[in-house]
Amino acid sequence: MTRDVLVRTIFAKESFLCVGLDPDPDRIPDRYAGDVVQFNRDIIDATREFCVAYKPNTAFYEALGLNGMEILRDTIAYIGDEHFIIADAKRGDIGNTSRYYASFAFDTLGADAITVAPYMGKDSVGPFLERTDKWTILLALTSNSGSEDFQHTPQENGAPLFAKVMRRASHWGLPDQLMFVCGATQADRFAELRKVAPQHFFLVPGIGAQGGDLEGVCRHGMTRECGLLVNSSRGILYADDPGAAARDLQKQMAKALKKFSPELSE
């Protein structure tokens, strides 16, 4: 999915919701009897009108063995072409290893994007960015508490490491193919993040179970093209009514677009 199509979809649906498809066998309702495919299909059917993207985390499928890869491929095929699909794999290696990671996500699974760890530098990210028809989503400022261990470390100019990563990586790929992961639990840093990467989309995890601040993220992170994909996983998957949970977030996002997006608020 191209940037133009993604932006049009966001404003048409008045939503920038991404639903994380992370099926935990211990939490899937008993009525599914362990049928992950049907569970995913029911979640997709209940939420597709309220979201613009889905993000299956590959670890939940890898843990199911060889059958898990078939479940993941079936899930992505069931989503179809009208939603942006992110393979949340957090890959990161050099040379052909990254190239094959990219091939698996884009060619075998059919995903539009893959999450990538930047620690090994440009030559580990480059093979993903070679696929100019796809998206690379680079970890920058994550939502977990351990982000404090490295990501906030001051650099030679006093700026934190996450800012250095984003600034450097912004020269590796265009905003039409490169996003950054920026956690919703770090909403107070979004004005700073936008100064570093004013044109790039941000994938924003941490809304819902992790307690992220949706309004703060939108206030400081939204752009003319929205520039945000906000993910919710557990808060939707294991809600009593997943469709209602997604609809509630979509309504909040519609209000945020009208309040904070220059495109709609002018």
Q: What is the pLDDT of residue 221?
A: 94
**Whether 14 contacts 57, CB under 8 Å:** no
Q: What is the pLDDT of residues 81-122, one digit of tens each?
A: 999 999 999 998 988 999 999 999 999 999 999 999 999 999
- Show Cβ contacts of residue 17 under 8 Å, excluding neighbours closer than 6 positions: 50, 51, 52, 53, 229, 230, 232, 246, 249, 250, 253
Average pLDDT per block of 10 residues along the chain, 266 residues long: 96 97 94 95 98 98 95 97 97 92 96 96 95 96 80 78 91 96 85 93 82 85 96 95 97 94 58
CATH class, 3-265 region: alpha beta
Q: What is the pLDDT of residue 266?
A: 47
Q: What is the pLDDT of residue 264?
A: 55
Q: What is the pLDDT of residue 263?
A: 58
Instruction: Give the residue extent of every domain in the chain.
Output: 3-265
Pairing status of strand 17-21 against strand 178-182? unpaired
Q: What is the pLDDT of residue 195?
A: 93
Q: What is the pLDDT of residue 261?
A: 80
Q: How distant is the alpha carbon of residue 196 from its chain centre? A: 19
Catalytic residue list contains 122: no
Q: Of the listed 13, 55, 90, 122, which one is catalytic?
A: 90
* Element spanning 255, H or E: helix 242-260
Most distant CA pair in the chain, distance: 56
pTM: 0.94
